[in-house]
Amino acid sequence: MSNSIEDIAGDAQAFFVIGSNTTEQHPIIGMRLRQAVKQRGAILIVADPRRIPLTDFASLHLRHKPGTDIALLNGLMYLILKNGWEDKEFITSRTEGFDEFKATVMQYPPEKVSEITGVPLADLEQAAKIMGATKPMAVLWAMGITQHITGVRNVMTLANLQMLLGNMGVAGGGVNPLRGQNNVQGACDMGGLPNVFPAYQPVTSPEVIAKFGTAWGLKVEGLKVDSESKESDNLQPFDKLRASSATFQLSNRVGMTVTEMIPGILEGKTHALYILGEDPVMSDADTNHLRRCLEECDFIVLQELFENETAAYADVLLPGIAFAEKSGTFTNTERRVQMVRKAVEPPGEAREDWWITAELAKRILAHSGWQTCPERSRRVADGPYAGWDYHDTAQIMAEINALAPSYEGITHARLERGETLQWPCPNAGHPGTPILHVGKFTRGLGKFTSIEHIPPAELPDDEYPMVLSTGRVLYHWHGGQMSRRSKGLLEIYPQPLIEVNEEDAEKLGLNPSTGSGQVETKHVRVTSRRGSIAAEAWVTERVPPGMVYANFHFPQASVNELTIAALDPVSKIPEFKVCAVKVEVVE
Amino acid sequence: MTVNLTINGQAIQARAGQTILQAARAAGIHIPVLCEHPALPPDGACRICLVEIEKQRTLQPACTFPATEGLIIQTHSPRVVEARKFTLELLISDHPLDCMTCEATGDCALQDLAYEYEIKESRYKGKQHNYPLDASNPFIQVERNKCILCRRCVRACSHINGVEAISVFYRGFNAYIGFGADGAMQDSSCEFCGSCVAVCPTGALWPKMSIGKGRPWQVRQVETICSYCGVGCKLSLHVRDNQIIRVEGANGPANHGWTCVKGRFGWDYVHHPDRLLKPRVRRYLLDGLQKPDIRELRVESSRDKTNLDSLVSNLWEWVETDWDTALDITAKKLGEIRDTHGSDSIGVLTSAKCLNEENYLMNKFTRQVIGTNNIDHCARL
């Protein structure tokens, strides 16, 4: 999020929530939105194909067709520009690329946009009018925007909108993606991405490679560094690189994303996976294909709380520990780093996840070169942060402080003193940064991007006539490994439900209530080109006619059996939110 | 703008717009309350905070009466104390005095007031309610006999969570709190955020999973961050005998003491019997054999009659082992694969559920130890 929950909840005069089922997926932010609407009359516009609970509190619900976000947003910006409601001062002083962008947007008149999106003309006009007249407006989104083949383009279009309206760098405005997992922000910040080291330092930068190479440098003990020697010729290319260079070399090739490394198994690219606290069988697209990949992997080590669905394919299962059993930090969706504290001892022999990783590292380093040169090659710490002897997470944080500039001032000691720090926090006296892009963008001028509407990868046809979209529900969490093991959550939502519109239910002959002596039929089978699931239908106005919606909380009918692994070309995110299916009643 | 008033002979200043209660609190003067809650709009429902104001004919509730210039107030005059005792006796007259076994003992505003005003029993022997216990939903037990109709829950549901699932039905002695159109909580617009439980001053609304698990003075409270979504609610875990027995929202910058159904009631997975207790490896690894072709398992299971004695099944069975064995096998395998197929043949999925410190180490492991940038997590999923 460019902004903080507090300034959005307190200062936004309008909210534009698109592709976020906020009250179910970020309930406390949803709570704050409802408070702002009810208590101070803030205006809420929701854009979502589904009638999510938040729409009950919205002034306007733009119910656009799935995968038409760019057309919708360009159409709104067309109307803002046509009526002169843009923030001319902001555009002139803080942005570039406006003219080209404007030329693209002016190709999206309301009639055309209404046809693409299915949103009535009057609603488009009203939404544009509210956006033009109500400042500041905060934009909030989640996976409904990003999980498309146009995910990155959708986000850039929202950035265009907020720059056009001058809503950047102000309290109550901003571009605010709501991060899903408790520490997904932190996992990204800490370099859990294939293209960046911690704090988004690119792996392709020679300076960054040199920095981490020095910090983490290892030397190989007992090996003569002599490129002419015979011993050196026998080395694998990888070891040769290590051995021949005085400085430690890190890879400067961008790595594979999760959506590339698992399919990479069948292509012979990936031979082993080390998976920490994740369940790809439940959470990745196109489960059937994913299973085939995992079956062929040479070696999978899984570090988890439970024997999850992916464990069936794992060679080693290492017992990690839960949040209540460990101390350290999580970073929330507003870049706020907060202390996690141990409350209970872990069960059995389960160990801290950081201890397990460090032990593996030490053992691999101590025995490197098993196959090539078993008698030599022990890699030992050389750089100041090369070693793996950690005694607690505060020590690890000190290493993060030294290497990740935006976390430099965020220490356990400060957090334990009660300071609440949002990165960037570049030094020990810095108070943190609640709002980004104040007065200046990171890159200097904000860049308008010209973006055209592209339809989803798989649209309905005669054989698969309906659209399927996916997501989670209030009472469960992602692949369900935690929430299905919570007695109350399972009791209130005990089985997967597939949302079907009333009109479709009637056409299909669904008859969930046994009122008039007819045979009760309440289960549906949903089939895509990739798989098929059957589950109870929830006949509801939440989905529009022609669309069904299902979740991935239950292995017996996970929607990811059906989803398509069509990827956004930049972010490599799968298009979970749109694919084509057929729906039949199960007698 | 400030106004000057006198409370118990002490001259104090208040901001215009404050209530007497707010002004007194700011000056450190105690006025007892029951229906009042600092996060909720005042309701003036319970009459416990009555104070005596010069030139006012009747006693006035401090929680709603505005602090204005020149007020002269007594918070504990004989008339005030008498009125409070009367109110408490009326409340007690229709309240079960089962404090010995009541879940709320030690955490009950009514009990505290009865103690403060020495109310042991009520002179008013009238009709008593005998509502059935409502334990029909998995999260919140509703014991209407213990409800004092303070409407804190009604206000929390409307003002905090905003869904308006709770209201007071009927009037006078027949009044009770109900849900939706007077049905079950689970059939109303309730989202089980539990804010009503958090503000309930008695044992009328109680977290079901905490019943019988311990008294407030038997628990240790640990403040931490929720493990579900990215909002980052600060939670207080109540721990007794190495078991979490209750979770409350704590006052963090993202949540201000509130939380949702998963944060408040979804923590019991931590103690689930399915937790992995020891490392496990597949049999073939312990025996130093080749990995079996596990595609055969899928084919077999789809053939209906699974041959569990098959070689593949045997080699693929889990064996519990010690940490050294599991870590050595894993390190050897990863090292071999790296040396055979190159660093880029290994992929690492780090975890958005784990700590920053743990994610940092996974990044260091991938890049320093393995020598690849093949690291990602579920941010895309």
Q: Which residues on neighbouring strands pair with residue A302, listed in sequence order? A: A275, A317
- Using a CB–CB cutoff of 8 Å, tell me whether A432 touches chain B: no
Average pLDDT rounded to a whole number, residues A472-476: 97
Examine the pLDDT at B308 and tell me if it is beyond 60.
no
Write the CB contacts of A245 (distance below 8 Å, at least 6 apart in sequence).
none
Q: How confident is the model at residue A373 (pLDDT cuts 50, 70, 90)?
A: very low
Report the C-alpha gap between A73 and A170 in whole angstroms: 21
Predicted confidence at residue B310, as pLDDT, reads 77
Backbone angles phi, psi at B275, to 5 degrees: -55, 140
CATH topology of domain A5-178: Dimethylsulfoxide Reductase; domain 2 (3.40.228)
CATH topology of domain A185-261+320-422: Rossmann fold (3.40.50)
Per-residue pLDDT tens over the stretch B178-198: 999 999 999 999 999 999 999
Q: Buried (b) or exposed (e) across A252-277, using 16+ Cβ within 10 A?
A: eeebbbbbbbbbbbeeebbbbbbbbb
Q: For residue B261, which residues of chain A lie inside 8 Å, CB to CB?
A: 27, 474-475, 489
Domain with CATH 2.40.40.20 in chain A: 466-586
Average pLDDT rounded to a whole number, residues B272-290: 96
Contact A180 B160 (CB under 8 A): no
Q: Where do the DSSP E strands lie in B143-273?
A: 166-169, 176-179, 205-207, 220-225, 234-240, 243-249
Answer yes or no: is B42 within a domain: yes
The CATH number given to whatever domain includes residue B28 is 3.10.20.740
In a mutational test of the B interface, the residue from A152, A274, A359 whose CB has the highest number of chain B CBs within 10 Å is: A274
Half-sphere exposure of residue A163: CA atoms within 13 angstroms, side-chain side: 25
Contact A276 B380 (CB under 8 A): no
Q: How many structural domains does chain B have?
A: 2
Taking domain A466-586, whether its CATH number is 2.40.30.170 is answered by: no
Answer yes or no: is B372 within a domain: yes
Answer yes or no: is B33 within a domain: yes
Contact A399 B360 (CB under 8 A): yes
In a mutational test of the A interface, the residue from B327, B358, B365 whose CB has the highest number of chain A CBs within 10 Å is: B358
Q: Does residue A482 contact residue B227 with C-beta atoms inside 8 Å? A: yes
Write the CB contacts of A343 (distance below 8 Å, at least 6 apart in sequence).
A324, A325, B220, B222, B224, B237, B239, B244
Answer yes or no: is B136 within a domain: no
Answer yes or no: is B15 within a domain: yes
Average pLDDT rounded to a whole number, residues A199-228: 80
Average pLDDT rounded to a whole number, residues A39-54: 97
Write the CB contacts of B261 (distance below 8 Å, at least 6 apart in sequence).
A27, A474, A475, A489, B139, B191, B192, B193, B194
User: At which of B76, B94, B110 does a domain end?
Assistant: B76
Backbone angles phi, psi at A235, to 5 degrees: -75, 150
Contact B138 A349 (CB under 8 A): no
Answer yes or no: is B116 within a domain: no
Contact A322 B239 (CB under 8 A): no
Instruction: Report the SS3 class of residue B332.
Output: helix
Q: Which amino acid is at A338?
A: Q
CA of A298: which chain B residue's CA is closest? Answer: B291
Q: For residue B208, which residues of chain A lie inside 8 Å, CB to CB?
A: 488
- Please state, in angstroms and as integers, the Cα–Cα distance from residue A198 to each residue in A49, A398, A402, A422, B359, following that order: 36, 13, 11, 16, 9
Q: Does residue A316 contact residue B285 with C-beta atoms inside 8 Å? A: yes
Predicted confidence at residue A272, as pLDDT, reads 98
Predicted confidence at residue A381, as pLDDT, reads 74
Report the C-alpha gap between A528 and A579 in whole angstroms: 8
User: At which of B37, B52, B76 does a domain end?
Assistant: B76
In a mutational test of the A interface, the residue from B40, B359, B365 whose CB has the highest number of chain A CBs within 10 Å is: B359
Per-residue pLDDT tens over the stretch B321-366: 999 999 999 999 999 999 899 999 999 999 999 999 999 999 999 9
Report the C-alpha gap between A22 and A474 in whole angstroms: 10
Domain range for residue B355? 343-381
Q: What is the complex's ipTM, to 2 decimals? A: 0.95
Q: Which of A258, A399, A574 sits opposite B349 (nearest CB)?
A: A258
Report the C-alpha gap between A197 and A189 in whole angstroms: 8
Examine the pLDDT at A226 and tell me if it is beyond 50.
no
The predicted model scores a pTM of: 0.94
- Using a CB–CB cutoff of 8 Å, tell me whether A267 touches chain B: no
Predicted confidence at residue A382, as pLDDT, reads 81
Answer yes or no: is B92 within a domain: no
User: At which of B76, B98, B118 does a domain end?
Assistant: B76
Question: Closest by alpha carbon to A186, among A333, A284, A326?
Answer: A333
Contact B336 A337 (CB under 8 A): no
Contact A485 B362 (CB under 8 A): no
Per-residue pLDDT tens over the stretch A534-551: 999 999 999 999 999 999
- Using a CB–CB cutoff of 8 Å, tell me whether A420 touches chain B: yes
Question: Closest by alpha carbon to B99, among B111, B88, B90?
Answer: B111
Q: Which amino acid is at B356?
A: N
Examine the pLDDT at A224 and tell me if it is beyond 60.
no
Per-residue pLDDT tens over the stretch B60-99: 999 999 999 999 999 999 999 999 999 999 999 999 999 9
Question: Closest by alpha carbon to A333, among A193, A142, A191?
Answer: A142
Domain with CATH 3.40.228.10 in chain A: 5-178
Answer yes or no: is B320 within a domain: no
Report the C-alpha gap between B212 and B245 in whole angstroms: 9
Task: For chain A, give the longest Cα–Cα distance.
Answer: 90
Residue A438 is classified by DSSP as S
In a mutational test of the B interface, the residue from A205, A325, A353 whose CB has the highest number of chain B CBs within 10 Å is: A353
Q: Does residue A577 contact residue A66 with C-beta atoms inside 8 Å? A: yes
Per-residue pLDDT tens over the stretch B97-120: 999 999 999 999 999 999 999 999
